[in-house]
């Protein structure tokens, strides 16, 4: 008994901590703690996963790194807390994490009834299809009568059925329990098509014996905008997360990268001067220093760099920019100007 008591006493002395009032002043608490509390997934390829050295990497992770760079000037000052799909919102509501960046789809229910705010979209996801090269199919409208491998228990199943019914096409669903089995089914030729969220399709494709033998169709048949989430009621913090993401997008639009950012500080372009804090202090309204965006870009990079490094062409996943290209390059990513 003595030992048990000892343990609990000791552990609780170190473990019960004040995380600060959960409803306001997240910025002050973060500065005082010296680290951003960031909720990530328990492992999702390209979005958040620990690398060989135990550092978290991914597109979702970069959002938290950007916030840390803006607030604390150090992108590494992040405490990553891995959350599963069920507990993620509770962890945010209870103040265990201050930013939830965990491939969370922005929906009405989540935005309006959970006391949360979505601070933007860092990846436009949606259900897509992967087919074998041999079939010579180039679009989803040619899939009439196809046998489709689907992972059970996901909304994918319903969305695919909706899509085929709406387009008056037939399909033959072949349902598997796990993603490995789904890949196996596709590989062995049980089905012509494998369907999943596009962000996951690329990860499934790598697991094929011959990844180059399969192609991901450009069509996306559902809307799954993924983005960082914060608690409702702390508008300063909401603004910080929102504009950290916008700063990365704006930097890409103006051609500012982590490599040229130091040269760009002397740029004549007024947009760049405002972004990098050379002309006015646009961080002031959020309680940040003038170099908030400079810190993000120099330490995390702009959105294109983050995208390519984690899920794009520089990563094993090789996901096309597609819907995630900037608005002036045929995608949806659009950030309000910094002015």
User: Does 90 interact with another protein (rule: CB under 8 A)?
Assistant: yes
Q: What's the CA gap between 155 and 303, in Å, rounded?
A: 29
User: Does 109 interact with another protein (rule: CB under 8 A)?
Assistant: no
Q: What's the CA gap between 44 and 50, in Å, rounded?
A: 10
Binding part of the chain for another protein, among 52-60, 241-249, 259-267, 273-281 by CB under 8 A, reads 52-60
Check the CA dihedral 277-278-279-281 and report its sign. positive
C-alpha dihedral (222, 225, 226, 231), degrees to nearest 10: -130
Give the shortest CB-108-to-another protein separation in angstroms. Answer: 23
Binding part of the chain for another protein, among 67-75, 131-139, 140-148, 203-211 by CB under 8 A, reads 203-211
Give the shortest CB-203-to-another protein separation in angstroms. Answer: 6
Q: What's the CA gap between 76 and 93, in Å, rounded?
A: 24
H or E segment at 154? none
Size of residue set near another protein by CB under 8 A? 56
User: Does 49 interact with another protein (rule: CB under 8 A)?
Assistant: yes
Q: What's the CA gap between 165 and 239, in Å, rounded?
A: 41
User: Does 279 interact with another protein (rule: CB under 8 A)?
Assistant: no
Choice between 1 and 166, CB closer to another protein: 1
Strands 99-105 and 36-40: parallel
Choice between 183 and 276, CB closer to another protein: 183
Measured between its terminal Cα atoms, the distance across the chain in Å is 64
Residue 77: how many other CB atoms lie within 10 Å: 18
Q: What's the CA gap between 222 and 128, in Å, rounded?
A: 8
- What is the number of residues in the chain? 339
Identify the residue among 95, 173, 233, 322 touching another protein (CB under 8 A): 95
> Do residues 227 and 122 lie in contact, with contact meaning Cβ atoms separated by under 8 Å?
yes
Give the shortest CB-62-to-another protein separation in angstroms. Answer: 14
Binding part of the chain for another protein, among 61-69, 86-94, 118-126, 140-148 by CB under 8 A, reads 86-94
Identify the residue among 28, 73, 74, 82 touching another protein (CB under 8 A): 82
Identify the residue among 73, 93, 147, 174 touching another protein (CB under 8 A): 93
Q: What's the CA gap between 42 and 172, in Å, rounded?
A: 32
Identify the residue among 52, 136, 153, 189 touching another protein (CB under 8 A): 52
Identify the residue among 74, 81, 223, 265 touching another protein (CB under 8 A): 81
User: Does 72 interact with another protein (rule: CB under 8 A)?
Assistant: no
User: Does 15 interact with another protein (rule: CB under 8 A)?
Assistant: yes
Beta-ladder partners of 196: 128
Subset of 160-189 contacting another protein (CB under 8 A):
180
Structure tokens at 68: 């840390």
Give the shortest CB-1-to-another protein separation in angstroms. Answer: 5
Check the CA dihedral 198-203-207-208 and report its sign. positive
What residue ranges bind another protein (CB under 8 A)?
1-4, 6-8, 10-12, 14-23, 42-46, 49-54, 57, 79-84, 86-87, 90-91, 93-96, 180, 203, 206-207, 209, 310-311, 315-317
């Amino acid at each position: 008994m003595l030992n048990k008591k000892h343990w609990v006493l000791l552990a609780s002395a170190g473990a019960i901590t004040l995380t600060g009032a959960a409803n306001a002043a997240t910025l002050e608490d973060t500065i005082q703690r010296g680290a951003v509390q960031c909720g990530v997934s328990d492992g999702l390829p390209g979005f958040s996963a620990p690398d060989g050295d135990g550092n978290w990497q991914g597109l979702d992770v970069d959002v938290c790194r950007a916030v840390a760079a803006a607030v604390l000037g150090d992108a590494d000052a992040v405490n990553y807390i891995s959350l599963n799909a069920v507990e993620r919102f509770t962890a945010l509501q209870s103040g265990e994490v201050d930013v939830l960046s965990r491939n969370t789809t922005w929906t009405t229910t989540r935005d309006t009834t959970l006391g949360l705010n979505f601070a933007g979209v860092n990846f436009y996801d949606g259900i897509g299809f992967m087919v074998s090269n041999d079939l010579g199919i180039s679009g989803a409208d040619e899939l009439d009568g196809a046998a489709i491998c689907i992972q059970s228990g996901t909304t994918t199943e319903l969305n695919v059925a909706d899509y085929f019914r709406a387009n008056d096409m037939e399909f033959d669903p072949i349902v598997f329990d796990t993603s490995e089995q789904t890949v196996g089914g596709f590989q062995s030729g049980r089905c012509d098509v494998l369907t999943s969220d596009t962000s996951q399709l690329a990860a499934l494709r790598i697991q094929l014996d011959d990844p180059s033998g399969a192609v991901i169709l450009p069509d996306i048949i559902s809307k799954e905008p993924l983005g960082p989430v914060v608690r409702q009621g702390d508008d300063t913090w909401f603004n910080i997360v929102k504009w950290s993401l916008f700063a990365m997008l704006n930097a890409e639009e103006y051609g500012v990268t982590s490599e040229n950012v130091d040269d760009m500080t002397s740029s004549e372009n007024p947009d760049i001067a405002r972004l990098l804090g050379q002309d006015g202090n646009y961080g002031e309204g959020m309680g940040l220093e003038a170099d908030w965006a400079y810190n993000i870009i120099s330490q995390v990079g702009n959105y294109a760099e983050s995208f390519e490094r984690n899920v794009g062409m520089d990563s094993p996943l090789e996901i096309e920019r597609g819907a995630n290209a900037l608005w002036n390059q045929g995608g949806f990513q659009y950030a309000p100007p910094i002015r």
